[in-house]
Chain A
Amino acid sequence: MREEDKERGYDFHKASHTETMTINMGPSHPATHGTVKFFLTLDGETIEDIDVEIGYLHRAFEKECEAQKWNGVFPYTDRLDYTASVLNNVGYAMAAEKLIGIEVPERCKYLRTMISEMARMSGHYTNVGAGALELGALTAFIYFIEARELLWDLIESICGARLTHNYVRIGGLTNDLPDGFRENVKRVFAKNRKLWDDFDIMLTKNRIFLDRMRDTGGISQKDAIAWGFTGPCLRAAGVPYDVRRAQPYLMYDRMNFDIPVGSTGDNFDRYLVRMEEIKQSMSIVEQCLEQMPEGPINVDDARWRMPSKDDSSTKMEPLIFHFKQIIEGQSIPAGEAYQAVEGANGELGFYLVSNGGGKPWKCRVRPPSFALTSALPLLVKGSMLADLIPTFDMINLIGGECDR
């Protein structure tokens, strides 16, 4: 400070921060994935205040469910977290099965576990890859997209679609594994591990990447729990909570895997946790294929199955019942149930209420990224505008899931 300024009490630093600037970032911004608008109040480059506007992808999922029959909801659950569709299928099917009180066959459980982990991998590939892309690392993004492409080829050979799988049904699954699936998994995973290593070389020790990710968007354990964080973002803060471990469902209690946990909850921890989870998911898929028994993939109860094509073209009784089932909907006993699964972003819960009819009376989804997005002002207030990009990437808002 100059002497004459000191004398008349003039502070240049204070005087230059006279007014703030408000700008709109989004709803369609090249550096944010997902349709979301930030209303920013900036002081120079520092974020004074941020208002997050969600809802651009709202399509009334919960209301739409009330118009569909129980099985007809599955195609719509695909569109919740579209980077990891099957996880939503599995969550909804398990909630409905809890309501009915049926147990699916063992092979079906193994298949569901396997395909869930594949979906989780695909979700993490998309998130980490897109996060790198938005920080300018286009090459690394392409490597993970290649890995995801190979993975989707596998999923396509089981389910019949690349993005909207529509694979699970109440009481079972649609398809069994195709021929030569194990060899394909071996080939694809070998390639995926190579691409993972290349991605790791490109980014994990990269100075530019470290400077943007480390010590930005941090959150303490206490705050993370208070804001309802789940999934990789909570684990990055150091809380070892994972639905797969806390309330083991499907076949997770028979698998050997690690749950990666960070310490400070900043973006770099979130990145590392996700990268480690990709590796753990690969090992779970391999274990599932090893342990998987032969057998049916659907419960053999006339109320929760389709007649086979042979039966429906020759026998009268199954055909009449089939018509009744499809036109009126399968009648699930009255009651309510909540089932949570570990989604790609965190705890994905389905709360179903039935009044005994053929349609859900109420279907409520607990989307993990909604809670994460609500804490975004806490994470970025006071930091630079450039820190918003990696923080928002690692929060991983999926429009379809958050807005429903």
Chain B
Amino acid sequence: MAINIKKVDRNVSMTFLERMYIPYMLHGMWVAIRHAAINMLGFFEEILAGKSKRQVMTLFYPEEYPDIPPAYRGKPTLVRRDDGLEACVACGLCEAACPPLCISIIGGERENGERYPVTYTLDGTRCIYCGFCEEVCPKEAIVMSDRFQGLCEYDREKMIYDKESLLVPREKLQKRLDTIRNKYFSEKRYR
């Protein structure tokens, strides 16, 4: 253990030039101009040479997309199985685990005895994107997709998502499904 105490220098030692104020001001301006130049030239580089990696922080947003990491928690979506039916069995675990109580399910049964959600309502105005629904789901039927656009509306009624609008085919969510099965919720986390 080596946690030492260090006294900060509050009487900042200044050289003669720094005390003269104007040279120091020019130094500060030089820093600002350097940053501005990097930003300007960075954009020119992008336009002229089409380089993929550049030094500028900002993005040309609608044309250019940010890199979304696999861990990202976007809009919760229900998984549609390959046979066109929902993977959800209406067990109600996500409903119980959801901290802001935004999910409500009414379950039913098909002719072949399979349980399914008759209605599955997710209130987008209440959802806090915590990812507990995905964490507790035993059937991997609800996952946090990488979708972050179009989640705001002018009308609150439009933000209450029903089952049909939440269902997404499995192929589109395969990446996230693999990640949660093999990485986040695998035995590797515990042993």
Contacts and interface: CB of A to CB of B under 8 A. Distances in A.
B136 interface: yes
B186 A159 contact: no
- The 10 A-B residue pairs with the shortest CB-CB distance, nearest first, are A258-B6, A160-B71, A312-B138, A157-B69, A272-B8, A75-B130, A72-B99, A300-B190, A160-B73, A309-B185
Contacts of B8: 260-262, 269, 272-273, 276
Interface stretch (A319-327, A347-355, A377-385): A319-327
Contacts of A242: 3
Given A157-B69, A253-B1, A146 B57 contact: yes
Interface of A: 68-69, 71-76, 139, 143, 146, 149-150, 156-161, 164, 166, 172, 174-176, 178, 198, 201-202, 204-207, 210, 214, 240, 242, 244-245, 248, 252-264, 268-269, 272-273, 276, 296-300, 305-313, 319, 322-323, 326-327
Contact of B31 (A178, A198, A254, A323): A198
Contacts of A262: 7-8, 10
B27 A258 contact: no
A113 to B, nearest CB: 13
26 contacts: A76-B99, A160-B71, A160-B131, A166-B130, A176-B184, A176-B188, A178-B69, A204-B12, A206-B24, A253-B1, A257-B3, A262-B10, A272-B10, A296-B188, A296-B189, A298-B189, A298-B190, A299-B190, A305-B190, A308-B189, A310-B187, A311-B187, A322-B138, A323-B93, A326-B96, A326-B136
Contact of B1 (A161, A174, A254): A254
A155 to B, nearest CB: 10
B183 to A, nearest CB: 7
A258 B4 CA distance: 5
Nearest to B5: A240
Nearest to B7: A261
B128 interface: yes
Contacts of B72: 156, 160-161
A205 B136 contact: no
Contact of B189 (A68, A176, A260): A176
Contacts of A149: 57
Contact of A176 (B99, B140, B183): B183
Contacts of A309: 140, 180-181, 185-186
B14 interface: yes
Nearest to A253: B1
A158 B5 CA distance: 32
Nearest to A210: B12
Contacts of B158: none
Contacts of B84: none
A305 B184 CA distance: 12
A291 to B, nearest CB: 13
B138 A205 contact: no
A164 B131 CA distance: 11
Contacts of A297: 189
B3 A245 contact: yes
A160 B190 contact: no
A260 B185 contact: no
B179 to A, nearest CB: 9
Given A149-B57, A178-B70, A309-B186, 8 more contacts: A201-B31, A253-B1, A255-B3, A258-B5, A262-B10, A272-B10, A298-B190, A323-B91
Contacts of A204: 12
A75 B184 contact: no
B18 interface: yes
A158 B139 CA distance: 24
B123 interface: no
A399 to B, nearest CB: 18
Contacts of A73: 99
A305 B191 CA distance: 12
Contacts of B189: 172, 176, 296-298, 308
Interface in B5-24: 5-10, 12, 14, 18, 21, 24
Given A244-B3, A258-B5, A263-B10, A296 B191 contact: yes
